[in-house]
């Protein structure tokens, strides 16, 4: 059995990472969504090891200390991170795993897991990205302007990725990512790569 691929999908806020990820999971049987660990309390209906690996703060900090996370961040008083063990077990089982993550987290994963396949999802244009963020109807203009400024900074980091895919239409973006995955499975990997 061949080893699976770690697919890291990231890009600026509003580019459609979650939508593309969900569409890919519906199309590719052998694709597992990476389950994150968190210290936040489970919400109604959430299950441990399905939605998240729910941890106490001490357990999570122990994972940090023992380098059991590919990346982590603290957000609104809770930790969130990607457990290395879950990723490794999935890959060893021959399944591909997709990690939908923000840009800074992706670069941290690349430091610890350079053999991953790093894909940057781009908007068709900055105007389209602004329209998508406005379309959510959840942010004021100052927040939208801030998100766009951050997006420009993140787009400048595209050179750290293996592939860039424009999310102009979800089906087309998924086809491109599927093609990348097929090519990566066919790639000859020597001990020097």
Q: Mind listing the pLDDT tens digit for each residue in 136-162? A: 667 788 888 888 888 889 999 999 999
Place of tokens 């293996």: 162
d(CA 60, CA 83): 10
What is the average pLDDT across 164-170? Answer: 95
Q: Is 192 within a domain? A: no
The two three-digit tokens of residue 129, written as one number: 């990205």
Q: Is 160 within a domain? A: yes
Q: Which DSSP letter does residue 57 get?
A: H
Statement: residue 120 has pLDDT above 90: yes
| Average pLDDT for the chain | 90
Taking alpha carbons only, the member of 124, 106, 107, 108 closest to residue 165 is 124
Let me know: does 42 contact 51? Beta carbons within 8 Å: yes
Q: Is 125 within a domain? A: yes
Q: Is 1 within a domain? A: no
Encode pLDDT of 54-104 as tens digits.
999 999 999 999 999 999 988 778 999 999 999 999 999 999 999 998 898
User: How much is the pLDDT for 79?
Assistant: 93
CATH number of the domain encompassing residue 89: 3.40.50.300
Can you give the residue range of the structural domain that contains 38? 6-186
Let me know: does 178 contact 28? Beta carbons within 8 Å: yes
Least confident range of 39-48, 127-136, 161-170: 127-136
How many structural domains is the chain composed of? 1
- pTM as predicted: 0.86
Q: Is 193 within a domain? A: no
User: How much is the pLDDT for 191?
Assistant: 54
């Amino acid at each position: 059995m061949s080893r699976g691929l770690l697919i890291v999908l990231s890009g600026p806020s509003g580019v459609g990472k979650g939508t593309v990820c969900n569409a890919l999971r519906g199309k590719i049987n052998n694709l597992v969504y990476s389950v994150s660990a968190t210290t936040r309390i489970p919400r109604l209906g959430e299950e441990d090891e399905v939605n998240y690996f729910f941890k106490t703060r001490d357990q999570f900090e122990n994972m940090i200390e023992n380098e059991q996370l590919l990346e982590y961040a603290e957000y609104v008083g809770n930790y969130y991170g990607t457990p290395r063990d879950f990723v490794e077990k999935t890959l060893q089982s021959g399944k591909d795993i997709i990690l939908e993550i923000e840009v800074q987290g992706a670069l941290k994963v690349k430091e610890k897991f350079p053999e991953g396949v790093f894909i940057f999802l781009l908007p068709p244009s900055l105007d389209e990205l602004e329209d998508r963020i406005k379309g959510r109807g959840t942010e004021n203009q100052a927040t939208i302007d801030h998100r766009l400024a951050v997006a420009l900074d993140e787009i400048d980091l595209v050179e750290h990725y293996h592939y860039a895919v424009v999310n102009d239409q979800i089906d087309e973006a998924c086809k491109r990512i599927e093609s990348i995955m097929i090519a990566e499975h066919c790639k000859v990997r020597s001990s020097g790569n």
